[in-house]
Structure 1
Amino acid sequence: MVKPTERRVGYGVALGYGVTDLFGGGAFAVIGTWLLFFYTTYCGLSVIEAGSIFAIARVIDALLSPIMGYITDNFGNTWLGRKFGRRRFFLLLSSPLMFLYSLLWLTDMGYWYYLGTYLSIELLSAMVLVPWETLAAEMTNRYEERSRLSGVRMICSQLGGFLAVSVPGVIMHFTGKDNPFTYTLTGLIFSCVFCIAVFITWYTTWEAKDVQQEASFKVDNQRIGGLLNHLKYLVLDLFSSFRIRTFRLHIIIYIFSFTAMDVFGSVFTYYVVYCLSQDASAVSGWLSIAAFASVPGTYGFMLLLNRLNITPSAALRLSYGCIFIVLAFLLTVYLTKTQVPTLLFSAVFILLGAARSGLYYIPWNIYSFIPDIDEMVTQQRREGIFAGVMVLTRKSTVAIAIMIVGLVLQESGFVKGNGAQPESALGAIIGLMIFATAALLAVSFFTTYRFKLTRETHKLLLKEIARRKLGGDYRDCDARTRVVIKQLTGYEYDQVWGGSASRRAEGTARLSAAK
């Protein structure tokens, strides 16, 4: 997929691609907001039983994402994959299955029913989101078009989160807040939305096979075999992904910054209620302001990357810098006990929402360029395994972060339900929300200085891949390109494209495109 394709990605195509994140951003936002309450209030489950469903699903889901990534990377070796596409086949299959989501919201069905339906949604999520996330890298190799796809996708995700909060509230006005049918109807409405969204994405997108000649696809006979053979290559692919220098740096930036926002979000309510002694309703108002600001904020970062040609590293530092300012403001308010005007607080959370949109958008934009760098090493397109690793690491770290926050609060003497907390608990809240968040962001901030992927370096990379695919000699590569290849891959030029790095990254010496 190295030659620029004839098909272009305008905003219409980008919207068709991005609407699937109504499912990614909306489905689990509804679950996170309402499902535990629904289980314990209307389904006869105890808190322990309901919690066990989420815990079991978390473990299984951590395994599903990389497995699904491996499957989609290698599905082209099957007849179905060659006929319908190794990625989009799963979108077409999953569209009608979206109505499984409505089955979550039936009452009085028993523990095993609820466990089974929730696990089916986790499986459906992996079937949709992992292959879908790879499409941005498959549909185009143009920097600005991939940025457009990622940006519109994030806007749709934020819209999905907004619908998750607002739609149940609207329905409650008609059905009553104590009526379980409210949740059943909510599930059915979202099932219809998700079904249509995934079908639109299937209809409006394409993948590499659609813009390459069929002859360029070869069945990988070494990856056709029994379960043990597939497990071997799954493990090899997982570990080999971390041999790519840019991906290692990307994971550090991604995990530390996203975890910082997890810690901030999990403690912010405690900060408002106990440190500022304000009503919990203020939390919803300020976070709603931040969520509203994130939509134009995402578009603003798209313009920075595409129109002003700001590097991803510089844009991330801008985002982190604004969040540091917000943290300093919140710390100052606590220490000085200042009564801050509502207008000023609103302005601060507009800044937070806009800055946070860059923090979320840019790493997923960067992801779409990682497979190009990997191709320079392995001569393969492995979008799926990188998407799987990102989802796996993200879901693992968010669970660990929330657990650590809970342990710190418990050890600090925090008393659940009290109107006032001891000084030790207040100190823990400030320490987590301000200093832990800032420390995690600082790791990402300084890592960006080592991150060398830009529009210019990506163009040089694509030119070199195209040259080598046309049979170009490795000795004809210019000095500037050799430096860029090393900065991006972490390997000397002579080690990539069939060299020693290629064989180690693939876990086998079968690559034959020798220098």
Structure 2
Amino acid sequence: MVIEPNSQSSFDKTHPMSLSTKFSYGIGEFAGEVTASVLVFFLLFFLTNVAGLSAGLAGTVLLIARAWDAINDPLIGWLSDRTQSRWGRRYPWMVIAAIPLAISFALIWWVPPLSGQALFLYYCGLAFIFHIAFTSVVLPYTTLGAELTEYYNERTSLISYKAGFSVTGSMLGLLIMQGTISVVDDPARQYFIAGSICGAIAALSTYICVFGTYKRFKLLQKKRTEVSRPPTLPIQQQIRIALSNRPFLFVVGIYLCSWLGLQVTASMLPYFVVNWMGLEENHFTQMAITVQGTGLLVMAGWNYLGQRWGKRKVYCTAIPLTLIAQAGLFLLQPGQVVAMYGLAVLAGAGLAVAYLIPWSMLPDVVDLDELETGQRREGIFYGFVVQLQKIAVAIALFMVGRILDAAGLVSANGEDIAADVAQPDSALLAIRWLIGPIPSLVLIGGIIFAWMYPITREFHEEILLKLSERKREQTQ
């Protein structure tokens, strides 16, 4: 049975999601993006150049944080699926963990009166606490996308707010850190003040999200099928069932390819701008802002097209824009600065869908899983995807470092300016391949996965119809 593409349940017609609910949900993205962007760009430098840890110990802190992340994402997802309270399954985690998130993030940027092994243990302990609080806020928050609306198009609209605030939050975190560093003279105080501001924003945005979306959540839960009970299967069995969900595997492929391609390109930008183009380092920040700012500006347009064309077609239309930009960057020559910024705009226009489409597909997968198993397990599915985002960052940085090292990249010492260090032709060629063709191959994989993704608008309407029929049968 096929439902007309523009059909919608009577609930969605009489209870459309308000703009304030979408805005409140989107602002919750600040909790993850403001903190994560600062960590990615500044933490290693802070640990070695401000806190005084050796590079080896600083790298071990980051490794421990990544290893703990790999464990706590699916674990907290599983526990939140089993949580029962009058506030639902997700909100208690967010409300309780928001303050520890803010405090632990601020303390990461504090230099205690310790040294050596004691200082190393301090930062390991903070990393452990922070990542528990971070996952306890970000993972339940992410799953709310599946619990605030059941309608195919409305989910795309909701996730567009999340994606827009994701880009904005990333830019905000960088601007806060850089602004504080430029105003405060003492390096230790610079980072602690900036970390405290970012931590406070993370906690405040969490509470705005909770109180701004709770009314909508309660309204939808009143009509949700009674079969959506907390799962009782062991976590190992739930993981096996999740991995047997074919559409979920396609979403995983889309997400992993999107973020690997994005992270490789992002990690190569400073090398490309400074070493290949021969420009000042401030051009790197301006290029990053150009890409992210363009993505933010076009997000509404992709959301509009996604509601009319479908998620799969929008992804397969947008990503080729980034492929063209990457080809252009590979061919770009020093001195072609205007063309470089034009290609940054084109890349941002395409990469915007990497923030939008995979997250809007995932709630549809959760609905299919509920139809097939009789259980709603957003936490397990979202835990896998959040975990993959972190793994993608680690893989991208590892790959880039190994390739550049093999190509003979010359590192700048403490007194050198990176642009003044002469790089061998082999290193410059590796930089160009890593900014263009290699991430392009990964993104092409994402297009293939998206084209094979089976849940169309019509298919999803059938899922909702069958879930509704099941509810009526149980209430008779």
Aligned equivalents of 2:373 and 2:194: distance in 1? 46
- What displacement does 1:318 show? 1.6
Judge conservation of contact 2:404–2:430 (CA < 8 Å) in 1: yes
Are 1:340 and 2:344 an aligned pair?
no
- What displacement does 1:214 show? 10
Q: Which amino acid aligns with 1:408?
A: I
Q: 5 Å matches for 1:4-83?
A: 4=11, 7-75=15-83, 81-83=84-86
2:287 corresponds to: 286
2:135 corresponds to: 126
Aligned residue for 2:279, secondary structure, equals coil
| CA deviation string 1:180-222 (max 9, x = no partner) | 2122211222222222111111112234786227993787695
Are 1:100 and 2:129 an aligned pair?
no
- What displacement does 1:8 show? 3.3
- What displacement does 1:454 show? 2.5
Judge conservation of contact 2:93–2:140 (CA < 8 Å) in 1: yes
- What displacement does 1:424 show? 2.3
Are 1:91 and 2:100 an aligned pair?
no
Q: Which amino acid aligns with 1:317?
A: C
Are 1:211 and 2:203 an aligned pair?
no
1:431 corresponds to: 433
- What displacement does 1:448 show? 2.1
- What displacement does 1:87 show? 0.9
Instruction: Specify every segment of 5 or more residues in structure 1 that has no aligned partner in the other structure, as ranges.
Output: 76-80, 224-232, 473-515
Are 1:140 and 2:157 an aligned pair?
no
1:496 corresponds to: none
1:491 corresponds to: none
- What displacement does 1:447 show? 2.2
Aligned equivalents of 2:271 and 2:230: distance in 1? 54
Greater mean alpha carbon deviation, residues 148-157 or residues 32-41: 32-41
| CA deviation string 1:385-407 (max 9, x = no partner) | 00001122222232123212211
Aligned equivalents of 2:220 and 2:448: distance in 1? 40
Judge conservation of contact 1:312–1:453 (CA < 8 Å) in 2: no
2:449 corresponds to: 447
Aligned equivalents of 2:367 and 2:121: distance in 1? 44
Counterpart pick for 2:410 among 403, 407, 415:
415
Judge conservation of contact 1:19–1:153 (CA < 8 Å) in 2: yes
- What displacement does 1:255 show? 0.5
2:464 corresponds to: 462
- What displacement does 1:72 show? 1.0
Counterpart pick for 1:355 among 340, 347, 350:
350
| CA deviation string 1:329-370 (max 9, x = no partner) | 112224xx6x4252x332221221121111221111111221
| Structure ID, larger Rg | 1
Q: Which amino acid aligns with 2:193?
A: L
Judge conservation of contact 1:16–1:204 (CA < 8 Å) in 2: yes
Q: Which amino acid aligns with 1:289?
A: T
Aligned equivalents of 1:399 and 1:283: distance in 2? 21
Judge conservation of contact 1:415–1:421 (CA < 8 Å) in 2: yes
Q: Which amino acid aligns with 2:298?
A: G
- What displacement does 1:20 show? 1.6
- What displacement does 1:235 show? 1.4
Are 1:168 and 2:177 an aligned pair?
yes
Aligned equivalents of 1:312 and 1:11: distance in 2? 21
Aligned equivalents of 1:209 and 1:134: distance in 2? 17
- What displacement does 1:374 show? 0.8
Aligned equivalents of 2:229 and 2:325: distance in 1? 53
The 3 A distance-change label for structure 1 pair 452 and 113 is same
1:389 corresponds to: 384
1:313 corresponds to: 312
Aligned equivalents of 1:276 and 1:219: distance in 2? 57
1:226 corresponds to: none
2:248 corresponds to: 247
Judge conservation of contact 1:3–1:466 (CA < 8 Å) in 2: no
Aligned residue for 2:303, secondary structure, equals helix
Q: Which amino acid aligns with 1:340?
A: Q
Aligned residue for 2:17, secondary structure, equals coil
Aligned residue for 1:263, secondary structure, equals helix
Aligned equivalents of 1:424 and 1:172: distance in 2? 36
Q: Which amino acid aligns with 1:87?
A: R
Judge conservation of contact 1:413–1:425 (CA < 8 Å) in 2: yes
The 3 A distance-change label for structure 1 pair 56 and 461 is same
Judge conservation of contact 2:292–2:348 (CA < 8 Å) in 1: yes
Aligned residue for 2:89, secondary structure, equals coil
Q: Percent identity?
A: 25
Judge conservation of contact 1:4–1:141 (CA < 8 Å) in 2: no
> Normalised by the size of structure 2, how large is the TM-score?
0.88
Are 1:183 and 2:175 an aligned pair?
no
Judge conservation of contact 2:329–2:435 (CA < 8 Å) in 1: no
Aligned equivalents of 1:11 and 1:363: distance in 2? 22
Counterpart pick for 2:205 among 194, 197, 201:
197
The 3 A distance-change label for structure 1 pair 296 and 355 is same
1:111 corresponds to: 120
Judge conservation of contact 1:94–1:128 (CA < 8 Å) in 2: yes
Judge conservation of contact 1:247–1:370 (CA < 8 Å) in 2: yes
Aligned equivalents of 1:215 and 1:421: distance in 2? 62
Aligned equivalents of 1:15 and 1:220: distance in 2? 28
Tell me the C-alpha RMSD between the 2 structures: 2.4
> Normalised by the size of structure 1, how large is the TM-score?
0.82
Aligned equivalents of 2:225 and 2:322: distance in 1? 50
Aligned equivalents of 2:39 and 2:129: distance in 1? 14
Aligned residue for 1:8, secondary structure, equals coil
1:483 corresponds to: none
Judge conservation of contact 1:25–1:160 (CA < 8 Å) in 2: yes
Aligned equivalents of 1:413 and 1:220: distance in 2? 54
Judge conservation of contact 2:32–2:202 (CA < 8 Å) in 1: no
Matched residue count? 450
Instruction: Specify every segment of 5 or more residues in structure 2 that has no aligned partner in the other structure, as ranges.
Output: 1-8, 114-118, 413-419
Q: Which amino acid aligns with 1:107?
A: V
The 3 A distance-change label for structure 1 pair 469 and 405 is same
The 3 A distance-change label for structure 1 pair 407 and 173 is closer
- What displacement does 1:173 show? 4.2
